[in-house]
Amino acid sequence: MSVTAGAPERVDGHPPTGPDPRRRGLAERLLAVRELSLLLALAALVLVTTLRNERFLSGQSVKDLLLGCAILVILAVGQTLVIVTRNVDLSVGSILGLVAFATGSLFLAAPGTPWPVALLLGVALGALCGVVNGGLIAVAKVPALVITLGTLYAFRGVDYYWASGRQINAADMPRSFLRLGNQTVLGVPVLFLVALVVVAVVGYYLRAYRSGRELYAIGSEPAAARLSGIPVGRRVFAVFVANGALAGLAGVLYAARFGTLDAAAGTGLELQVVAAAVVGGVAIFGGSGSAYGAALGAVLLTTIGSSLAVLRIDPFWQQAVVGALILAAIGLDRLLAVRMAARLRGRSAHGA
Amino acid sequence: MAHDSLYAAPPVGAEAEPPGAGGERGAGRLAGLRGALGSWDAAVVAALVVATLLASATVQNFATGRNVQFLLLDLVPLALLALPMTLIVITGEIDLSVASTVGLCSTLMGQMWLSSGLSLELICVLVVLLGAVLGAFNGVFVTGFGLPSLAVTIGTLALYRGLSFVVLGDQAVADFPGDWTAAAVRSIPGTSIPVAVVPVLLLALVFGVVLHATPAGRALYAMGNNDQAATFAGVSVARTKFWLFVASGAVCGLVGVFWTLRYASARGDNATGLELTVVTAVLLGGVSIFGGRGGLIGVVAGVLLLGVLRNALQLADVDANALTIVTGALLIASVVLPNAVADVRGRLHRRRQRATPVAR
């Protein structure tokens, strides 16, 4: 391990979150640029697509787009909490699948269940999966990548074992619940509103709460965070539980939106989620990034998918574009970090 | 590298402690950990033997020649991909793009066979070279631009898989000559061991010798433990890692050829998701995700253990998809157990240390 040995280089890789107000201002400006550039990319994409086919901005098309990205946004925001602490949760796709199937089974077994109860139970089941992840990581002292790779398989296996080939159809679920997945308020899908609330809450928490700021400290340098009295183990545990709960929420919404469920729901979603966060400027090695950026990243990835179809580009290009975008995003991050480090060095040299 | 501790849980374990800061406590724990891992190879081999014996005794049709043939054939891609992955993980990096590289190589092979008119021999060679180029692309991003391999290879995982769909769409190329596809599944005459196992063994030997018996191999451990120290010791870290990614890509090309011929089908979704199984096998084999520890014997045993368990449970009528529980549980156990053992040893060690002055 080169926790200390790599320290000089690590400073390059992370905007410092130390007390120096000038440095913080610079770091924040850079992050703001990232969200701005995402918005610009999104706007350019929408503009080009609309010029090609004006119906891209019609009410129905926008509604489909917002519906399509809501679940990915929720997952990306949850993943941001985890990645900021220099961890990663690869099991979110499996948690989503498990919770979605559990929700369907609940309605199958007790058709009269009111949907808020199902929602709460789904979130609780997701949080329980998060407890398993967080518990194994924090108590057994095992890296998150490995543990969540294991639970990715384990949760999915439980899902398959439980489903044993069955499929749950929309007809098995109450109409009030399914309406949740497609209803709109003033033209905006309820699903997207839920996602917006999640983004706002997590974004505000990360920015304004002491424990939220501590997550960045943990991701920047775990050893230093612990020495400065931050309860690292407890925070990381909480982050995995929160991410599990959000994946559970996404699972319930998935069930409401698609209605037809089997054990394969959400397979492979974890990589899209990580991709959305990385494209959104969340540094994969922790310590920087925001929930807003991750949410924008998720919206951008979803929009690319839809506009490729409108632009008559072979839909098979979609995944390749996503991959290229990830590489571009991390390359850009690296470039910005190197430049900022150079500027900081220059400034401190002047000050001396 | 700045990112090589990114897989780490916050520093609750000994590894994450800055050298020196933990003092005696850290040193004791590290020694305990090393001791536990030293016997890990033996533990995996023992588990493999027990699992094989149990399966032969209790599962019908497990110990038949036909089943052994299919078990080994199914394991060829996993075993091949695990070899370079072992070396890469030992250096503290990871390559998540292997399965997508296999997919892209497979579709390129199909496309060339369909439209280029080249001989299949030449196409196979070209595919392996193409794999090496794809690996070099990873290598440039990781070593040239200094980006974390986890993020880079998640990017190329999506990129290469996407490109493999671009090459063939949702079509499949299946009209490969029958003698070639038959050769891929043929057994060594008189046995039920597939011919394809021979190149796997040869490659395993090469990788094993390089890793365990050459200065280059020792250098891999050195840079896995500490990049900077390795650099100061005269190891060219970036160049070595670059060539490891190239080797990984070339092996992916080889697996792409084998996969295409074995299933007589070049498709965009070939080998989807295999990267996670490869990583599981490597970690199960005792390689530390932190880098710097592990060996090829353990990994080969890990691959076989994974294959035997899955095959036996499948024969025992467990749903193939539910088998992922076994994969996941094995992976978790393989990382929790050594740490738990190290923890107990460390605690005992400290207690002895504390007890010694009193005894005097």
Cβ distance of B163 and A236 shorter than 8 Å: no
The model's confidence at residue B11, banded by pLDDT at 50, 70 and 90, is very low
Q: Does residue B5 surpass a pLDDT of 60?
A: no
* pLDDT, averaged across chain A: 84
pLDDT at residue A163, as a whole number? 87
Q: Are A142 and B339 in contact (CB under 8 A)?
A: yes
Query: What's the pLDDT tens digit per position in A231-250?
Result: 988 999 999 999 999 999 99
Max mean pLDDT range (A143-147, A317-321, B122-126, B231-235): B122-126
pLDDT at residue A350, as a whole number? 57
Cβ–Cβ pairs < 8 A, chains A and B: 240
Check CB contact of B268 with chain A, cutoff 8 Å: yes
Q: Which of A191-205, B230-244, B257-271, B338-352 bottoms out in mean pLDDT, i.e. has the lowest?
A: B338-352
Determine which helix (DSSP H) or strand (DSSP E) holds B173, and give its type and residue range: strand B172-173
Measured between beta carbons, the chain B residues lying within 8 angstroms of A275 are: 154-155, 158
Instruction: Give the HSE-up count for residue B121: Cα atoms under 13 Å, Cβ half-sphere.
Output: 0
Task: Report helix angle A59-84 to A232-258, nearest 10.
Answer: 160
- Estimate the share of chain B in helix, then strand, then coil, as percent rounded to the nearest 5: 70, 0, 25
Of A149, A233, A319, which is closest to B280 when you measure between CB atoms? A149
Q: What percent of chain A has pLDDT over 90?
A: 36
Q: Please tell me which residue of chain A has the smallest CA distance to B22.
A: A223
Domain range annotation of chain A: 57-336
Q: Are B192 and B65 in contact (CB under 8 A)?
A: yes
Of A141, A268, A274, which is closest to B9 when you measure between CB atoms? A141
A79 CA: distance to closest CA in chain B (Å): 14
Query: What's the pLDDT tens digit per position in A78-134?
Result: 999 999 999 999 999 999 999 999 999 998 888 888 888 999 999 999 999 999 999
pLDDT at residue A120, as a whole number? 95
Of A2, A165, A225, which is closest to B4 when you measure between CB atoms? A2
Query: What's the pLDDT tens digit per position in B302-325?
Result: 999 999 998 998 888 887 777 788
Of B9, B162, B290, which is closest to A320 when you measure between CB atoms? B162
Query: What's the pLDDT tens digit per position in B87-121?
Result: 999 999 999 999 999 999 999 999 999 888 889 99
Check CB contact of B238 with chain A, cutoff 8 Å: no
Check CB contact of A266 with chain B, cutoff 8 Å: no
Q: Does residue B275 surpass a pLDDT of 80?
A: yes
Check CB contact of B140 with chain A, cutoff 8 Å: no
For residues B40-62, average pLDDT: 89
For residues A183-195, average pLDDT: 87
A177 CA: distance to closest CA in chain B (Å): 29
pLDDT at residue A22, as a whole number? 52
For residues B51-78, average pLDDT: 90
pLDDT at residue B25, as a whole number? 42
B95 CA: distance to closest CA in chain A (Å): 13
Cβ distance of A319 and B321 shorter than 8 Å: no
pLDDT at residue A30, as a whole number? 56
pLDDT at residue A349, as a whole number? 59
∠ at Cα A200 (A195, A205), nearest 5°? 130
pLDDT at residue B352, as a whole number? 77
pLDDT at residue A203, as a whole number? 94
Cβ distance of A146 and B335 shorter than 8 Å: yes
Of A283, A276, A259, nearest to A337 (Cα)?
A: A283
pLDDT at residue B169, as a whole number? 85
How far is residue A143's CA from residue B259's CA, in Å, rounded to a whole number?
32
Q: Does residue B342 surpass a pLDDT of 80?
A: no
Tell me the one-letter amino acid at B91: T
Query: What's the pLDDT tens digit per position in B197-236?
Result: 999 999 999 999 999 999 999 999 999 998 889 999 888 9
**Widest CA span of chain A, in angstroms?**
72
What tokens does A296 get?
């924008």
Instruction: Give the HSE-up count for residue B50: Cα atoms under 13 Å, Cβ half-sphere.
Output: 6
Q: Does residue A6 surpass a pLDDT of 70?
A: no
Measured between beta carbons, the chain A residues lying within 8 angstroms of B18 are: 3-4, 223
CATH number listed for the domain at residues A57-336: 1.10.3470
For residues A64-90, average pLDDT: 92
Instruction: Give the HSE-up count for residue B224: Cα atoms under 13 Å, Cβ half-sphere.
Output: 25
pLDDT at residue A32, as a whole number? 52
Distances (CA, A) of A81 to A206, A238, A246, B204: 8, 10, 11, 41
Query: What's the pLDDT tens digit per position in B129-183?
Result: 999 999 999 999 999 988 889 889 988 998 999 999 999 888 889 889 888 888 8
B337, B342, B344, B345: CA torsion to nearest 10: 140
Instruction: Name the burial class of residue B355, with classes exposed (0-12), middle (13-18) and buried (19+) by CB atoms within 10 angstroms of its CB.
Output: exposed
How far is residue A168's CA from residue A165's CA, in Å, rounded to a whole number?
10
Query: SS3 of B187, please?
Result: strand
Query: What's the pLDDT tens digit per position in A254-309?
Result: 999 888 888 888 888 888 898 899 888 888 888 888 999 999 999 998 888 888 87
Q: Are A166 and A188 in contact (CB under 8 A)?
A: no
Query: What's the pLDDT tens digit per position in A316-348?
Result: 888 888 888 888 888 887 887 787 788 788 766
The model's confidence at residue A178, banded by pLDDT at 50, 70 and 90, is confident
Residue B269 CA to its chain's centroid (Å): 20
Cβ distance of A145 and B150 shorter than 8 Å: yes
- A74 versus A326: the higher-pLDDT residue is A74
Domains annotated on chain B, with CATH: 41-337 (1.10.3470)
A149, A154, A160, A163: CA torsion to nearest 10: -130
Q: Please tell me which residue of chain B has the smallest CA distance to A328.
A: B155
Q: Are B309 and B277 in contact (CB under 8 A)?
A: no
Q: Are B234 and B303 in contact (CB under 8 A)?
A: no
Residue B127 CB contacts under 8 Å (≥ 6 apart), including other chains: B105, B108, B109, B112, B253, B256, B257
Check CB contact of B7 with chain A, cutoff 8 Å: yes
Do strands B172-173 and A188-189 pair parallel, antiparallel, or not at all (unpaired)?
A: unpaired
Cβ distance of B18 and A158 shorter than 8 Å: no
Max mean pLDDT range (A21-35, A100-114, B240-254): B240-254
Beta strands in chain A (DSSP E): 184-185, 188-189
> What pTM was estimated for this model as a whole?
0.80
pLDDT at residue A177, as a whole number? 87
How far is residue A189's CA from residue A180's CA, in Å, rounded to a whole number?
9
pLDDT at residue B248, as a whole number? 97
Place of tokens 């724990």: B29
Helices (H), chain B: 23-38, 40-58, 65-90, 98-115, 120-139, 149-168, 178-185, 197-213, 215-225, 227-232, 237-262, 274-284, 296-315, 324-359
